[in-house]
Amino acid sequence: MDKKSITGLLLIGAILIGWMVMSQPSADELAKRREQFVTDSIAQFKTNEKIKEQTVTKVEKPTVVAGIPVALLRDSTGKVNDSLQTLLQKQVYGDFVDASHGDSKIITLENELMKVHISPKGGRISSVELKNYKTFDQKPLILFDADSSTQSLSIKAFGKEFASDSLYFLPEGSAFKVKGTETKSIAMRLYAGDKGKYIEYVYSLIGNEYMMGFRINTVGMQNIITNNGSITLNWGMKTPTQEHNHQNQQMASTIYFKYPNENVDKISESTYEKKAMEFPVKWVGFKQQFFTSVIIADNVFNKESELETISQKASLKYVKEYHAALSIPYTKPNESIGMRLYFGPNHFATLKKYDLELEKQINLGWKIFGWLNRFLTIPIFNFLDSFDLNYGIIILILTIILKLLLLPIAYKTILSSAKMRVLKPEIDEINEKHKNDDPVKKQQATMALYKSAGVNPMAGCIPVLLQMPILIALFNFFPASIELRQQGFLWAHDLSTFDSVYNFGFAVPWYGDHVSLFALLMTGSTLLYTWSNSQLMGTSNQMPGMKWMMYLMPILFLGFMNSYSAGLSWYYFLANMITFGQTWIIQKFVIDHEALHAKLQENKKKPVKQSKFQQKLEEMTKQRQEQSQKKK
């Protein structure tokens, strides 16, 4: 990289930014687009509702009843008499005719943590409210509601296919004690003609847990249900916007699932995907940024199951749309299929205690980064959290602890840089001596100096690489930590998302529509550390192209961090300042540069040992030089 290359990159960047600014729609155009979007959304909603009404049972109403055309059985006003109406419903719904109408009064099960609403129509969970959490605008936190969720059984009966969400279930339930723990249970029954034939959903809350029981029972349905070996449980929802940053929610939301005896897998957060299961499935989770809804089989769901996720990028109300068609066994007349439902936060300890690997829905990073967070960062963070400190202070203490753990590695990096610094005058002499020669000769002379002085120019890189996994691990940890959600520190109201000290009122390409002060502090501290490091280490005049790139990268990174977790920016700012202090103190008060220089000069007097690899490398270099001379 030279000055021309850097200038070219900057010009390209300026052209791109200029083009984005010029092509940005005006405020009037944006308003028209929003109005059109609302109009289109309403039209689409009405169309969907119309289609839903037409395909509820997938059975058309008959035009002939008992051999007589329906048109001939209407009175002069066109109304069908009551007896004929009953006959019509019987032909459409069969043995479920009594369930074609009913009471829509919502039933509620609740404990201290959540409130679960159950609708008689479909017998389904229509909405779940988490009592201890609020949305970013301080409204009750609803995981999903009746209008944006589905739960039904696909039933084949007497030659017709039904979706149970169009039929009415009758409630039967009570609250009772089990070993001193209050259990609230409700049974929702879909009767087929008489009391001895029904499909039953049993929901139960045991104590104050986010996990609840769910069981599907079939009784006396052998002559009604004709599904061959399985029933499909359809479960779906549109997840509502709960956090301030819609884009961050999109990036963190997807469907997770687990095959028995296999690792937890997921559908990509960034793409639409309809995925057929390859094996039987233990559980399926509809994950949001900080909350999740999981259905867990006592045994497994059949491998014929299918999952689908759809992004709602054009919507401000919803984030993702999830669908799961779960195949459950149905092999005998009186079947009982046990399941559990988790509706709650993506809190590592809360999910881990169920021993189902539900905690792997929290994105703590790939492989080694995830291990560092699980076995190092989270234990330290939880220990500090037990003292009931402000989370900004917890991040400060956590940073200090991690820096102390990395101090031996940091010292080796600084010592290697100090060696390079004391050799800089001799490096400058070599550069001046060989400035008109082949660059290979200059490189050989430089490497010969390092070799004779006993300095490894790559020694400083290895400790830096050893520190990188922790930096990357924390890059995943802070945005995924529900503990930081809606926790304020200094001017930031919520450390889990960006802090805004000024809103532009319009979007600036690459940067955003606001100013994050923590992101600015992080960028400023990175630039300060880069500058001071180059001055202190004596490398300010080496590789000028790379020097400018080192300044450019933090500025480019600012555009990303401006809309990211304020807690992460706060950590990086602290880490930069502590590293700056460590470097300055060790360089000024720990390392004796004169003694170090004397030691390196003493090393030059010792014979240089070469490995076979180094010898081979020198031979190859000499051959290359000879070939170059012959060509000239």
DSSP assignment of 514-548 equals: EE-HHHHHHHHHHHHHHHHHHHHTT-TTS-HHHHH
Whether the pLDDT of residue 125 is over 80: the answer is yes
Delimit the domains of the chain by residue range. 102-362, 371-487+566-604
Distance, first Cα to last Cα, the chain: 27
Mean residue pLDDT across the chain: 80
Whether the pLDDT of residue 176 is over 50: the answer is no
From CA 394, how far away is CA 24, in angstroms rounded?
41
Whether the pLDDT of residue 277 is over 80: the answer is yes
Between strands 211-219 and 281-287, the pairing is unpaired
The pLDDT confidence band at residue 361, using thresholds 50, 70 and 90, is very high
- DSSP structural state of residue 325: E
Mean pLDDT on 249-271: 89
From CA 447, how far away is CA 425, in angstroms rounded?
15
What pLDDT is attached to residue 53?
54
CATH number of 102-362: 2.70.98.90
pLDDT digits (tens, 9 = 90+) for 533-554: 776 555 544 555 556 677 788 8
Per the DSSP assignment, residues forming a β-bridge with 116 are 109, 128
Residue 391: which of 140, 567, 151 has the closest Cα? 567
From CA 516, how far away is CA 524, in angstroms rounded?
12
The pLDDT confidence band at residue 621, using thresholds 50, 70 and 90, is low
Range from 31-35, 57-61, 94-98, 307-311 that averages highest in pLDDT: 307-311
The pLDDT confidence band at residue 287, using thresholds 50, 70 and 90, is very high
From CA 281, how far away is CA 258, in angstroms rounded?
6
Whether the pLDDT of residue 470 is over 80: the answer is yes
- Top-confidence residue, 555 or 608: 555
Whether the pLDDT of residue 59 is over 50: the answer is no
Helix (H, G, I), strand (E, B) or coil at 48: helix
Helix (H, G, I), strand (E, B) or coil at 395: helix
pTM: 0.76
What pLDDT is attached to residue 55?
45
The pLDDT confidence band at residue 419, using thresholds 50, 70 and 90, is confident
373: which residues sit within 8 A by CB, 6+ positions away? 364, 365, 473, 474, 476, 477
3-state per-residue secondary structure call for 67-111 = CEEHHHHECCCCCECHHHHHHHHHHHHHHHHHHHCCCCCCEEEEC
